[in-house]
Amino acid sequence: MKRRKKIVNLVPLKTQRFKITYLFFLLLIFGLFGRLVNLQVFSAAELQKKAKLIQFTKISSLTRRRPIVDRNNRLIAYDKPLYKLWAHPRYFNFPGDSTNRSRSVEEVVNKLSPILNVKDEILISKFGNKMVGIELLDEINENQAKKIKNLHISGLDLIKYSKRYYPQSNLYSNLIGFVNYENKGKAGLELHLENQIKLLNKSNLVKIGGDGTPLPDNSGPRDFINDYKSLGLTIDSRLQKASFKALSKHVLKWNAKKGFAIVLNVNNGEILSLASIPSYDPNKYWEYNSDIFKGWYSQDLFEPGSTFKPINLAFALEEKVIQQDGLVEDSGKINVGGWTLSNWDKKGNGYIDYPRVLQVSSNVGMVKIMQNLPPKTYWDWLNKLGISKNLETDLFESTAGQLKSKDIFISQTIEPAVASFGKGFSISPLKLAQLHAVLANGGVEVIPHVTLNFKDYATNNSQEEIFSEEVSRIVLEWMESVVEKGSGVGAKIEGYRIGGKTGTSQKAINGRYTSKKVCSFVATFPINNPKYVVLVVIDEPSKAYAYGSTVAVPVAKEIIESLIVIEKIPPQIEKNRLIVKKP
């Protein structure tokens, strides 16, 4: 039996109900339109800012410094990437654990200790009762960091940073200096050339997807890496090591306060080695007294003594007040303005030529020679050398030398007299090396420098000719006689032509000379074609018979012998026959 269908009669919608429904949807549409206008117009800037915070992440580069290398690309200083490990125990969770499971400190430490090579109890003791923000360890290397990351333990964070290392320890400390815990230069070249060494921090915005995946953008390949340049030095690490070893041995032998040795290329001003004692380990700078960080060879002054006599003779030759083959009477003593001046041994040498004046280091002979030069002219020459000016170089800020005023120098006859044998004025050891380099290269000003790019500065500054080539040649030949048969004979090396001059000067403290000495020796090599100046200065040797000839000369000889081997310099004399090479 078929079921009968129910018939429903349609009733028209009430007008009132229809109007209410219509008004409701109309208001809804206007509300949505108003919201859209508000979002697109009035709140656009704020929403765009929020969108960028979600869509982009800021990546900051590490604070890094350029490596420092020697002339043969051997590392002297470099940045090593390291990590700090932070722990948050409340979030400890292993891979595969449920989200609400929390691992104990002991369980996490049990996995970390083999990687870090640290005992469990030491790591556990670092936690205390803290649940977040615990620094467990720093100086974690990249291999250890990789193993920790591979554990995928929640609640562990690795923060990457950069630390400065000096692989050659104290060999370069007084030259290179060090950086502090903030990676900022605090001494030496690290401080003085901070702007050339440090890499400027640079941050970048990286676009990311909702799941954190980086998305392609318009960043260039150099947006994330600043550069891979290094600061190249003129130093040869092999020669530096040899110089440091020789200097250390003799400073210790003579129980001296400090010592300095430099090898300078006289043709271009490049410093091939610069050793200074005492030194320190820049990797552990905090273990040393801050006084040791000073670059005293450019910042401390001393009276050069007899090592300045060749420079004075060049003045006299340039002004033609002496002749190459002239003689001077050395009576052993001389009275100047009521002051009695004498030779170091109180003995006279009779009539001697100018090479002999240098050989026996005659003070009286030098006084008489320089008395031929008007004091005004003499002072002008000293001023021309820049005695009282800062030495412009890429080393630390140098200290200007001290020279008496022109009025005093001219009016008091004792001043030019003592200046004739290197007293009454003071300069830095580095300045003395520069002056002998000028003499060695034919009289042209040379600027000592230690960075390879310093030549860019030198080419923009005219180099003044101070001495004539002929005068320079004559004085160098006289200096050669000092090594052949004078006070510098201890530096003689068979087959090689070496010129030099010893110096032993008393130290003045509070305006009065004391028994404390500065012993020095400067050598030019090879004399027939000068290329190198070697200067050794040893301050306050405390044993008897301490002179430039006994204290400084042996150091210079060892350095020159190393230089000959490293630079493969052939002999200039063979079986008493001079080997003349074409330029």
Who contacts 2 (Cβ-Cβ below 8 Å, separation ≥6)? none
Preceding peptide of 526 cis, ω within 30°: yes
Q: CA 118, CA 148: separation in Å to the nearest integer?
A: 14
Give the separation between CA 153 and CA 214, rounded to whole angstroms: 23
DSSP bridge pairs for 535: 262, 522
* 3-state SS assignment for residue 324: coil
Nearest Cα to Cα of residue 267 among 499, 529, 582: 529
Give the C-alpha separation, 528 to 46, whole Å.
79
Cα 366 from Cα 130, distance rounded (Å): 78
Q: Is 448 helix (H, G, I), strand (E, B) or coil?
A: coil
- Please say whether the beta carbons of 183 and 164 come within 8 A: yes
Specify whether 520 is catalytic. no
- Given CA atoms 257, 506, 416, 467 in this order, what sign does their dihedral have? negative
Decide the pairing of beta strands 68-69 and 231-232.
parallel
Instruction: Report the b/e string of 470-480 with b at 16+ CB within 10 A.
Output: ebbbbbbebbb
| 378 CB-contact burial (10 Å; exposed 0-12 / middle 13-18 / buried 19+) | buried
Assign 576 to helix, strand or coil: coil
Catalytically annotated residue among 237, 306, 420, 487: 306
| Euclidean distance between CA atoms 193 and 398, whole angstroms | 14
Specify the 3-state DSSP secondary structure of 526. coil
SS3 label, residue 469: helix
Q: Are 35 and 41 in contact (CB under 8 A)?
A: no
CB 475 within 8 A of CB 257: no
Active site residues: 306
